[in-house]
Amino acid sequence: MPPRPLHHQLFLSRNIIITEKTDMHLVWSKNRIFLKPIPRFLLDPDFWTHHLLCSSASKEMLEGSDDDYAYACVKRHELVACGLGFLFSYAALVSHESDFHIAQREYLIPEDASWLAWKCLVRQLLEQHSYHAVNKRYWYGELRLSRIDKIYRLTQPQCLLRGYSSSYYHYSDFFNDEVGPIASFTVYVAVVLAAMQVGLSTDRLSSSSVFQDVSWGFTVFAIIAPPAAFLAVFLVFVVSFASSWSHTRYHENKRYRHMGVLHKM
């Protein structure tokens, strides 16, 4: 499904966040959507001719054997697929003139571009468009960050803590997201315990051994589960904090070594 136009993103109360990371383009989280601005060179036909498309002219520019040229063409084909997919995503994002003005206001499109030139570009993209010609990433349009995080945590062991991209920039956000569901679950448990207590006060249920066993088991569960869940969240926070601190220190030391200075704590 193609991404929805920019005016519809604003209708959904999403803030447009500029990112220069291509892997975050069209990723959304809560009331934000991350968009990478269109690089000016992708709108230049000469750039595509000399640096992306394989032709006789580009063969003269590439030094080496025919095998090297073939390898370079394969790599260029991958870049072309990514570039076409990226522009195709903007063909959907900027579908109306209002979207075009929003894009220029948010610095997503060069300010010297015109609406007529943009329509001409989109027309060419749509006339020659084929899903097989674009990178598979752009087949899926908008992606939910929390869903990608879960997939990465389950499939990439090194991303167990941070996921695809850490969505917690403040510790309060982490605790709000993790403790909130536990608090709601604790309230539900309290309601169930109150109902069981009422049930045990009735003649019909007080004489039921099955109900008494279930009540006993759920009472033990209610005593153990909430503290265990809070403890698990705290342990995850401690491990995440230690990992983040270690990561920061590593890159800090690497930066100081590159600068040739001795960093003392």
Give the tens place of pLDDT for each residue, 107-161.
999 999 999 999 999 998 888 777 788 899 998 899 998 888 888 878 887 776 6
| Spatial separation of the C-alpha atoms in residues 175 and 178, rounded to whole Å | 5
pLDDT of 249: 82
**pLDDT of residue 57 exceeding 50:** no
DSSP, res 159: G
Alpha helix ranges (H) inside the chain: 6-11, 45-47, 56-61, 66-93, 97-105, 115-127, 145-155, 171-200, 203-206, 209-259
Across the chain, what does the average pLDDT equal?
A: 85
pLDDT of 6: 97
65-86: average pLDDT? 80
pLDDT of 168: 60
pLDDT of 155: 86
Total Cβ atoms within 10 A of residue 229:
17
**pLDDT of residue 66 exceeding 70:** no
pLDDT of 68: 65
CA neighbor of 149 nearest in space, from 172, 177, 126, 129 = 177
Its pTM stands at 0.71
pLDDT of 102: 97
> Is 118 within 8 Å of 94 (Cβ atoms)?
yes
Residue 241: both structure tokens together? 């904090």
**pLDDT of residue 20 exceeding 90:** yes
Q: What is the pLDDT of residues 170-205, one digit of tens each?
A: 667 677 777 888 888 999 999 999 999 998 888 888
Residue 255 three-state SS: helix
2-21: average pLDDT? 95
Please work out, in degrees rounded to the nearest 5, the angle formed at the alpha carbon of residue 15 by the alpha carbons of 21 and 167: 55
162-175: average pLDDT? 68
Confidence category of residue 69, pLDDT binned at 50, 70, 90? low
Residue 32, phi then psi, degrees to nearest 5: -130, 150
Residue 4, phi then psi, degrees to nearest 5: -80, 150
Residue 137, phi then psi, degrees to nearest 5: -55, -40
pLDDT of 39: 95
Q: Which of 10-14, 60-64, 194-198, 203-207 has the lowest mean pLDDT?
A: 60-64
Confidence category of residue 106, pLDDT binned at 50, 70, 90? very high
| Spatial separation of the C-alpha atoms in residues 180 and 184, rounded to whole Å | 6
pLDDT of 128: 78
pLDDT of 252: 81
